[in-house]
Amino acid sequence: MSLTSHLEELRRKHQSLSQEVEMAQRAPATSDFEIAQMKKRKLMLKEEITRLSPH
C-alpha cells in the first residue's frame, strides 16, 4: 500500500468516525464513555494523518 492510499484510507476512517460521533451525541442511549472512546480514536487517526502527511 502506498503512502498516498494509506493516508486516503486514514482520512476516510476519520470522516466516518466523525459522523459516528455526531450520531452518537444525538442518541440518548449512547454513554459519555462510548463517545469519549470514539473521540479518542478519532484524535489518534488525526495525529497519524498529520505525522504521515508531507509538510
Which tens digits make up the pLDDT trace of 1-55?
Answer: 799 999 999 999 999 999 999 999 999 999 999 999 999 999 999 999 999 998 7
* pLDDT at site 1: 75
* pLDDT at site 22: 96
pTM for this prediction: 0.87
SS3 content of the chain, % helix, strand, coil (to 5): 80, 0, 20
